[in-house]
Amino acid sequence: MSDTLIGLVSHYSPSGQERSAMDWLVTRMKSLGYDDAFIDEAGNSVGVMGGSGKQVVLLGHIDTVPGEIPVRVDNGILYGRGSVDAKGPLACFVDSVAKVGVRDGWQFVVIGAVEEERNSEGARFIADQYQPDFAIIGEPNQWDRIALGYKGSAWANVTVKRGQTHTASGEVTAAEAAVEVWLKIKAYVDSFNTDKQKVFDKLLLTLRGMDSDSNDFEQWAKLKIGVRLPAEVSPEDWYAKLNEIISDSRLEGDCHLEKAGFAVPAWGCEKNNQLVRSLLNGIRSQGGEPRFVYKTGTADLNIVAPVWKCPAVVYGPGDSALDHTPNEHINLDEYQKAVNVLAASLEKLTCDRISSKDKM
């Protein structure tokens, strides 16, 4: 059952270079008996099991961060880029659906999305292509844990410009003014977080970089600021607060905010529904004690869940502490447990009567 995982990891596929892995995965799904498998218009690998009826979309991502790691298996441990983030969960989806097979009145759609590690182009495309009854997003959270929430994110550049002055003038430089702005932003974030007990509820601020330069007449400094957002703060709220802080700084010269990349809001999943109950049952069927977790990162869940508005969770084998590291690896026994968990969960989900609340 690890052939899908090893084969997928063996095809190095950093964002923008997924084609070889995409082709391999489509061929693999066909060999496992999927009714259809193809590459969609966005470049996502898609496998379909079953005809019409209630639909379960299992969305993983096929791209990885850069940095190729030689693929090897050593004492039941698979080493390789993507073994954890997130080809482990994606391969788990492929194998689990193949194990369950066709279920009368149901359709399983397994998607290996592209570009998740950059701007989630694959997920943005499929958000409008499907309207599933249930969604499972593939990210590593260990085989016996279910993730119910991911923080949002927003990126921005703050640029301070000032007229050129003599170095002996004693006037504040653009770089010094930028540092002053950063300290005010950080002070606001520290104040916001004071009464927050859980990391999921806090603003997580990072200074991702700082550049400065000058010419004959002007000097400038740019702050590259990132933040992980709690559910109570939307990207729009955050950008408004940044603009307020910049305006209140009353700096001489020009200071302006530029949004960068794609901002996404945080998303928390409903716990009391048939999908979650089926996964709890699946974990217990393999001798596990299921746990819930809320993550500080951002996933394709944040892209599709607000559009689909169906019961959704995040599941997948692997230790997320190994994401993006040079020692990325996964235990093959854990992978097999996750496949068995998900297969048992899908079997229970498709056998149980769906309540009216779960259809919402």
Residue 242 phi/psi, 5-degree rounding, is -60, -45
Query: Are 105 and 121 contacting, i.e. CB atoms less than 8 angstroms apart?
Result: no
52 burial type by CB count under 10 A (0-12 exposed, 13-18 middle, 19+ buried): exposed
HEC secondary structure over the chain = CCHHHHHHHCCCCECCCCHHHHHHHHHHHHHCCCCEEEECCCCCEEEEECCCCEEEEEEEECCECCCCCCCEEECCEEECCCCCCCHHHHHHHHHHHHHHCCCCCEEEEEEEECCCCCCCHHHHHHCCCCCCCEEEEECCCCCCEEEEEECEEEEEEEEEEEECCCCCCCCCCHHHHHHHHHHHHHHHHHHHHCCCCCHHHCCEEEEEEEEEEECCCEEEEEEEEEEEECCCCCHHHHHHHHHHHHHHCCCCCEEEEEEEEEEECCEECCCCCHHHHHHHHHHHHCCCCCEEEEECCCCCHHHHHHHHCCCEEEECCCCHHHCCCCCCEEEHHHHHHHHHHHHHHHHHHHHCCCCCCCCC
Of 289, 343, 304, 298, the C-alpha closest to 146 is 289
The catalytic site residues sit at 63, 116
Token match 């309207």: residue?
131
